[in-house]
Amino acid sequence: MMKKNPHNLVAKFREQYIEDSLPDFLYHYTSIEALKSIINNGEIYATVADYIASDPSEITIAKTIALKILNKRKKDFNGKKRLYENCKKAIESSDRSKDIQCICSLSEEENLLSQWRAYCPKGGVSIGFSGDRIRKNNGDPCIQNGTSVDNYNDYIREDYLYKCIYEPEEQKRKINQLFDFFLEQNISLIGPFWKMIQSFSYSFKHESFKEEKEWRLAYWPDKNKLKDRVKDSTLIPYWPFLTVDHNNKSVIDKIMIGPSRDKEKLRKYISSYLKDLGTQFSHIEVDVTKTPWQPL
Residue 290 has what pLDDT? 93
Residue 198 has what pLDDT? 82
Gap between the Cα atoms of 213 and 276, Å rounded: 34
Neighbours of 274 (CB within 10 A): 19
Contact 111, 291 (CB under 8 A): yes
Amino acid letter for position 141? P
DSSP 194-260: HHHHHHHHHHB--GGGGGG-EEEEEE---GGG-EEEEETTEEEEEEEEE-B-TTS-BSEEEEEE-S-
Rounded to a whole number, what is the distance in angstroms from the first to the last CA of the chain?
Answer: 61
Contact 22, 130 (CB under 8 A): no
Give buried/exposed letters for 50-67 (b at 16+ CB in 10 A, else e).
eeeeeeeebbebbbebbb
| Phi, psi at 140, each rounded to 5° | -110, 150
pTM: 0.85
Provide block-wise average pLDDT over 10 residues at a time, the chain (296 residues).
56 78 92 93 85 74 94 90 88 72 91 94 92 58 43 42 92 94 79 83 91 88 82 82 82 94 92 93 94 80
Q: At what angle do helices 6-17 and 191-203 cross, to 10 degrees?
A: 50
Amino acid letter for position 140? D
Q: What is the pLDDT of residues 26-67, one digit of tens each?
A: 999 999 999 999 999 888 888 887 777 667 778 789 999 999
Q: Residues 101, 105, 107, CA angle at the centre, nearest 5°?
A: 150
Q: What is the pLDDT of residues 126-162, one digit of tens each?
A: 999 988 777 654 334 444 444 433 333 333 344 578 8
Residue 253 has what pLDDT? 94
Burial of 162 (0-12, 13-18, 19+ CB in 10 A): buried
Neighbours of 295 (CB within 10 A): 14
Residue 226 has what pLDDT? 86
Task: Give Cα separations from 265 to 187, 253, 259, 270, 271 (angstroms).
Answer: 60, 20, 12, 9, 10
